[in-house]
């Protein structure tokens, strides 16, 4: 008796409420969850090929570490935005690190680079 009642309620809810409310895609129990994964930012998973980008590339290069055939890790390519973020962090560090041994070492490294350029 309860089963038909529950199902009747379902149909009524579907019928009455379909006049209002914004549609959405509910999660499916048992399926791979929607949304980004641990390696990716995309909604559905890693994009192996995207014709809009016209290249084979992972969806989120900044979060991946490319592994060569020998198994050694190589740094991944970063996007312009991440380069910019790194540059801003570097500016902050430069401002706060004046007088520290690290800053002195950095100045020595710059002098050494100039010296190398001069030798060429």
Partner 1 sequence: MKNNFFKYLSYSSIVAVIILLGLQPVQAVEVKLSGQINRAVMWADNGEDSEVFNVDNGNSSTRFRLTGSEEVNDSVKVGVVWENEFVSNGSGNVDIGQENDGTSDFNERKMEAYFVMPFGKVSIGQGDGAGNGTSEEDLSGTSVIMYSSVGDTSGSINFRDDDDNKIATIGSTRTNFDGLSRNDRVRYDTPKFRGATLSVSGTNGDAYELAARYSGDFDSLGKITAAIAYVDANKRKDPEWTQIGGSVSWLHTSGINLTVSSGSRDIDNTGRDPVNYYGKLGYKFDIHAIAVEYGVTEDLDQNKDKSKNYGLAYVMKPWNGVEFYGTYRIFELDRDDTSNIEDIQQVMIGTRVKF
Q: Does 120 bind partner 1 (CB under 8 A)?
A: no
Q: Does 11 bind partner 1 (CB under 8 A)?
A: yes
Nearest approach in angstroms of CB 50 to partner 1 is 5
Q: For partner 1, which is the closer residue by CB, 37 or 103?
A: 37
Query: How far, in whole angstroms, is CA 5 from its chain's centroid?
Result: 47
User: Which tokens go with 65?
Assistant: 């570490």
The length of the chain, given as a count of residues? 120
Three-state DSSP class for 9? helix
- Beta-carbon contacts of residue 75 (< 8 Å; ≥ 6 apart): 65, 66
Q: Does 70 bind partner 1 (CB under 8 A)?
A: no
Site for partner 1 in 16-55 (CB under 8 A): 17-33, 35-42, 44-52
Q: Which residues bind partner 1 (CB under 8 A)?
A: 2-3, 6-7, 9-11, 13-14, 17-33, 35-42, 44-52
């Amino acid at each position: 008796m309860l089963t038909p009642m529950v199902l009747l309620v379902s149909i009524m809810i579907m019928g009455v409420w379909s006049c209002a409310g914004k549609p959405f895609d509910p999660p499916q129990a048992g399926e791979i969850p929607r949304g980004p994964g641990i390696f990716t930012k995309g909604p559905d998973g890693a994009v192996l090929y995207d014709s809009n980008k016209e290249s084979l590339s992972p969806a989120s290069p900044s979060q991946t570490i490319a592994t060569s055939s020998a198994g050694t890790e190589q740094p991944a390519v970063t996007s312009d935005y991440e380069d910019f973020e790194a540059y801003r962090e570097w500016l902050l560090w430069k401002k706060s690190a004046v007088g520290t041994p690290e800053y002195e070492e950095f100045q020595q490294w710059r002098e050494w680079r100039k010296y190398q350029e001069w030798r060429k």
